[in-house]
Chains A and B, each alone.
Chain A
Amino acid sequence: SQTIHQWPATLVQPVGSPLSLECTVEGTSNPNLYWYRQAAGRGLQLLFYSVGIGQISSEVPQNLSASRPQDRQFILSSKKLLLSDSGFYLCAWSQVNEQFFGPGTRLTVL
C-alpha cells in the first residue's frame, strides 16, 4: 500500500529565515505530487504541483519554491520567510483523479 510522509510535523521559524519542508511517497511510482497551504483550518490553496522529476508548476506567485529531485520526493523551500507564510502545509500524491494527503506540517513564522 502507498504511504506519504511529511516532516517536520511542526516548525517555528523567525522572519527572514530559510525553509525546507520534505515530502516522500512510498509504494507507488511516478506519482503526481502537490503542495498545498491551508489557513485557519479551511480551504486548500494549491501552491505547486509536479508530474515528474524536475517538472514543477507554480500556481501562486510568492517567495516559496518547490523541487522534485527524485521520483517520490517533493521539497518546499524558501530563502526568507515572511509572517504571511505561517500556515498548515500539506503534501499530496495522486494517480488518475484522486489525491491522498500527508499528515501536514504546521509552520509558525514569528
Chain B
Amino acid sequence: TQLLEQSPQFLSIQEGENLTVYCNSSSVFSSLQWYRQEPGEGPVLLVTVVTGGEVKKLKRLTFQFGDARKDSSLHITAAQPGDTGLYLCAGEDSGGSNYKLTFGKGTLLTVNP
C-alpha cells in the first residue's frame, strides 16, 4: 500500500506571509495532484505534475515534483485569507493502475487577516 505523508498537519499564519507544505512518500508515483478543499465542499483540483523535477506556477502558488517522483511541495507567496483551506496531495500509482489515487491526510491552512 502506497502512503503519502503531508506536513505540517496544521498551519496558521498571518496574511502576507510565505509558506511551504510538503507531501512525501517512499513510493514512486506516475503523477501527483494537489487539491484545495473548503469546509463543506468537495476538493478542487489545483494542478497535476508528471515529470520529475517539474515546477508549475498558478498565480501565487508554486508546485514542485521531486526528481525521483516520490515527493512534492506547494509554496504560497504572500498568503491571503482566501487561501485558507485543506490542501490535499494525491499520487497516481506508478504500477500502471490509473484507476485509483492515494491521498494524503492534508494540511489545514488558516490565513488570518
Contact = CB atoms under 8 A, between A and B. Distances in A.
Interface of A: 32, 34, 41-44, 46, 49, 51, 57, 88, 90, 92, 94, 96-104, 106
Contacts of B100: 34, 46, 49
B79 interface: no
B108 A41 contact: yes
Interface residues of B, number: 26
A99 B33 contact: yes
B23 interface: no
Contact of A43 (B31, B33, B40, B104): B104
Contacts of B88: 43-44
Contacts of B98: 96-97
Given A32-B99, A43-B105, A97 B92 contact: yes
A99 B104 CA distance: 15
Contacts of A98: 33, 45, 48
Nearest to A101: B42
A98 B33 CA distance: 7
Given A32-B99, A44-B88, A90-B42, A97 B106 contact: no
B113 interface: no
Given A41-B108, A43-B105, A43-B106, A97 B31 contact: yes
A44 B103 contact: yes
Nearest to A51: B99
Nearest to A9: B40
A102 to B, nearest CB: 5
Nearest to A106: B40
A12 to B, nearest CB: 15
Contacts of A90: 42-43
B4 to A, nearest CB: 9
